Amino acid sequence: MKKWMFLIFSLASLFSGTVQASDAQVEIGFRRLAQGNIGMITVVGEDIVKVRAAFLDNQYLFPPNDDGEFVGFIGVPMASEPGFHRLSILIFYNDGSQEYVWENIQVLRTRFLRTSISLPADLKGLLDEDVIYEELALLDAKIKPLSDGANWLQTGLVPPFTKIPSDSFGTIRFFNGDIMQRHTGIDYSISVGTPVAAAADGVVVLSQSLPIRGEYVLVDHGSGLYSGYAHLSERLVEVGDMVQAGDVLGSTGNTGRSTGPHLHWETALGGVWVNPLELTALLAR
Ligand SMILES: [Zn+2]
pLDDT in tens, 257-268: 999 999 999 999
Q: Compute the distance from residue 18 Cα to the ligand 1 centre, in Å.
A: 37
Q: Which of 84, 63, 35, 101 is nearest to 272 (CA)?
A: 35
Q: Compute the distance from residue 28 Cα to the ligand 1 centre, in Å.
A: 31
Q: Compute the distance from residue 229 Cα to the ligand 1 centre, in Å.
A: 9
Q: Cα(220)–Cα(266) distance, rounded to whole angstroms? A: 12
Q: CB of 194 within 8 A of CB of 252?
A: yes
pLDDT score recorded for residue 177: 78
Q: Compute the distance from residue 5 Cα to the ligand 1 centre, in Å.
A: 46
Indicate the pLDDT class of residue 11, thresholds 50, 70 and 90: very low
Full-model pTM: 0.90
Domain boundary among 79, 108, 137: 108
Question: Within this chain, do residues 54 and 180 fall inside the same structural domain, yes or no?
Answer: no
Q: Compute the distance from residue 264 Cα to the ligand 1 centre, in Å.
A: 4
CB count in 10 Å sphere of residue 20: 10
CB count in 10 Å sphere of residue 265: 23
User: What is the arithmetic mean of pLDDT over 71-99?
Assistant: 95
Indicate the pLDDT class of residue 16, thresholds 50, 70 and 90: low
Indicate the pLDDT class of residue 127, thresholds 50, 70 and 90: confident
Q: Cα(264)–Cα(151) distance, rounded to whole angstroms? A: 23
pLDDT exceeds cutoff 90 at 197:
yes
| Cross-strand partners of 17 | 28
pLDDT exceeds cutoff 80 at 5:
no
pLDDT exceeds cutoff 90 at 17:
no
Query: Cα 280 vs. chain centroid, distance in angstroms?
Result: 10
pLDDT score recorded for residue 255: 97
Domain boundary among 83, 108, 133: 108
Q: Which has more confidence, 159 or 123?
A: 159
Rounded alpha-carbon distances, angstroms, from residue 145 to 139, 156, 172, 205: 11, 20, 27, 11
Count how many Cα atoms sit within 13 Å of the Cα of residue 215 in the half-sphere of its side chain. Answer: 20
pLDDT exceeds cutoff 50 at 243:
yes
DSSP percent split of the chain into helix, strand, coil, nearest 5: 15, 45, 40
Q: Compute the distance from residue 262 Cα to the ligand 1 centre, in Å.
A: 8
Question: Within this chain, do residues 62 and 133 fall inside the same structural domain, yes or no?
Answer: no
Question: Within this chain, do residues 247 and 157 fall inside the same structural domain, yes or no?
Answer: yes
Question: Within this chain, do residues 85 and 149 fall inside the same structural domain, yes or no?
Answer: no
Q: What is the CATH number of the domain that holds 177?
A: 2.70.70.10
Q: Compute the distance from residue 10 Cα to the ligand 1 centre, in Å.
A: 37
User: What is the arithmetic mean of pLDDT over 238-246?
Assistant: 98
pLDDT score recorded for residue 213: 97
Q: Compute the distance from residue 58 Cα to the ligand 1 centre, in Å.
A: 23
Indicate the pLDDT class of residue 87, thresholds 50, 70 and 90: very high
Q: Compute the distance from residue 46 Cα to the ligand 1 centre, in Å.
A: 43
pLDDT score recorded for residue 6: 38
What is the overall mean pLDDT for the chain?
Answer: 91
Sheet strand arrangement including 179-182: 114-117, 172-175, 179-182
Q: Cα(285)–Cα(29) distance, rounded to whole angstroms? A: 13
pLDDT exceeds cutoff 70 at 164:
yes
Q: Compute the distance from residue 168 Cα to the ligand 1 centre, in Å.
A: 8
Eight-state DSSP code of residue 155: H
pLDDT score recorded for residue 126: 83
Q: Where are the alpha helices (DSSP H) in the chain?
A: 3-14, 129-142, 152-155, 276-283
Question: Within this chain, do residues 87 and 199 fall inside the same structural domain, yes or no?
Answer: no
Q: Compute the distance from residue 120 Cα to the ligand 1 centre, in Å.
A: 17
Over pLDDT 90: what percentage of the chain? 80
Q: Compute the distance from residue 213 Cα to the ligand 1 centre, in Å.
A: 8
Count how many Cα atoms sit within 13 Å of the Cα of residue 134 in the half-sphere of its side chain. Answer: 9
pLDDT score recorded for residue 139: 97
Q: Compute the distance from residue 274 Cα to the ligand 1 centre, in Å.
A: 13
Q: Compute the distance from residue 183 Cα to the ligand 1 centre, in Å.
A: 6
Number of domains in the chain: 2
Helix (H, G, I), strand (E, B), or coil: what is residue 121? helix
pLDDT score recorded for residue 93: 94
pLDDT exceeds cutoff 50 at 4:
no
Question: Within this chain, do residues 123 and 178 fall inside the same structural domain, yes or no?
Answer: yes
The domain of 161 spans 114-283
